Amino acid sequence: MSKIISLEKAAELIPDNASVAWSTIGMSFFAEAVAKSVEQRFLETGHPQNLTLIHDCGCGDGKGKGMSHLAYEGLVKRLISGHTGQAPKMANMISEDEIEAYLLPQGVLTTMWRQIAGNKPGVITKIGMGTYVDPLVSGGKVTSLAKEDLVKRISIEEEEWLLYKTFPLDVVVIRATTADEDGNLSVEEEAMLAEILPMAQAVKNRGGIVIAQVKFIAERHSIHPKEVKVPGVLVDYITVAPEEDHMQTIGTTYNPGLAGNSRVPLNAIPPMPFSDRKVIARRAAMELESNVMVNLGIGMPDGVASVAAEEQVTRHFTLTTELGTYGGIPASGPDFGAAWNADAIIEHEAQFDFYDGGGLDIAFLGLAQADQLGNLNVSKFGPKVVGPGGFINISQSAKKVVFCGTLENGAKLSFENGQAKVIQEGKVKKFVQSVDHITFSGAVAQANNKPVLFITERCVLELREEGMVLTEIAPGLDLERDVLSAMAFTPIIAEDLKTMPEEIFQESWGGLEKYIIG
């Protein structure tokens, strides 16, 4: 009997009250056509109802795609996710306290599928201790309707650990490029490998079903066995999507350079315009060293890759992404998660095994809100909840962390002749007395003697044993007027307060290599 079914039939396979997991990395690996069919079925019939939706990465385009298709009262009862900021309709349901919502570390969820497949109790790790996902804080619960404890503290050999418990699983909706007639799946046009194999294994061992969205159908036995990423015996149904509902990334339908099927000249990647963002990326890149393993977060930190490419220094270190890419230049903006000219692409869950074990030498991450204790928040701002993504895993396990962002939101600065000048102050201070949500624990970092830097366009701060220390100031700025007045707390001022290098505040630079080699 053929496994190939229509999109309408695929939507009908999801019953009321089911626990449904979706592969996703923004729009990469997300079965957009299936989600649209589920939405259409619900609007026409009122079914399926009361679903538990699970996905470990952000899922959407920041507008109406992805999980936004399923954000309806009555359709969704519970969300377990690593990030929901790319699906504003779902995020609004959380802000309005309309569903049970748990936002857990991306790396925990992507390694959870193996635990479910292996009939194990869950993921046992120290990732999340001291943050909002610690049960001593909120256990990852982000709405009042979330009552069940999905995270608990346990003791092993007189040492404290977190146990992220497994959960029921009825349907898994995954995506691939090609399926043969037996359901064997290959991913030749995808930008990553994702976690589709352990997801399929997990639901099959729970007695559930696997629905796979693909672009192409191939003849039986025509896919090389080493190219099969999910064996057909694990796939129950296949449905074919139109190209527009099978995006390679949020911003790209298909580019062979992002799939590892071709290489692009690095000079084809346009340099970042000179701005405060470039200044921050340059100063952050000065923390790079030879032969280190590097991770770059989304937003401001991905500028480090652009600067490294422009300065022609990428041969000195290895840039990686949490989605599994090694080498090359991580893509930015709507293509985030993919990489140009990657040397290797491994599975999502395998990358987090390496990260969680301390494999990263340095991580560059976003700076949304920081406080006087060195805590950082990227997951919740007032009623707006987005979740941590891979931030908790990466920031807690990397040997060194560099947080990158402007000192204030909305400020305007000018840079001339190597000097900075504040033209207009921002409306929102990012360095506050106490963060809204603890996504990174300063106390845990201090206890582990982790080097932690906060790099802005106006100054550099370092978390030391004695607290938050201001170590550098931008040339041309007044300490009191331009820096301290823009913060809600007064940091310790280093006795040897330095001036940030004037050359990074100029249009052209060309001086990064000497810092890396030095």
Residues 6+ apart with CB under 8 A from 157: none
The SS3 assignment for 359 reads: coil
Give the per-residue SS3 of 46-96. Answer: CCCCCEEEEECCCECCCCCCHHHHHCCECCEEEEEECCCCCCHHHHHHHHC
DSSP tag of 11 = H
Q: Outline where DSSP puts E strands in 431-491.
A: 431-432, 452-455, 459-464, 467-473
The neighbouring-strand residues paired with 296 are 364
**Do the beta carbons of residue 504 and residue 478 sit within 8 Å?**
no
* Closest of 498, 333, 473 to residue 407, by C-alpha: 473
Residues labelled catalytic: 322
The SS3 assignment for 445 reads: helix
Q: How far apart are CA 107 and CA 357, in angstroms?
A: 12
**Do the beta carbons of residue 286 and residue 512 sit within 8 Å?**
yes
And the tokens for 135?
């049960």
Check the CA dihedral 10-13-16-18 and report its sign. Answer: negative
**Do the beta carbons of residue 152 and residue 163 sit within 8 Å?**
yes
Longest dimension (CA), the chain: 76
* Burial class, 510, CB count within 10 angstroms (exposed 0-12 / middle 13-18 / buried 19+): exposed
Per-state percent for the chain, helix, strand, coil, to nearest 5: 25, 30, 45
Q: How far apart are CA 34 and CA 241, in angstroms?
A: 8
Cis peptide bond prior to 105, omega within 30° of 0? no
**CA quadruple 229, 234, 240, 241: dihedral, nearest 10:** -70
The neighbouring-strand residues paired with 415 are 420
Q: How far apart are CA 288 and CA 284, in angstroms?
A: 8
Quote the crossing angle between the two packed helices 106-117 and 348-356, to the nearest 10°.
110
Residues 6+ apart with CB under 8 A from 395: 363, 365, 376, 401, 439, 440
Q: How far apart are CA 110 and CA 116, in angstroms?
A: 11
Q: How far apart are CA 126 and CA 376, in angstroms?
A: 18
**Do the beta carbons of residue 388 and residue 103 sit within 8 Å?**
yes
Residue recorded with tokens 């230049």: 329
Quote the crossing angle between the two packed helices 106-117 and 196-205, to the nearest 10°.
40
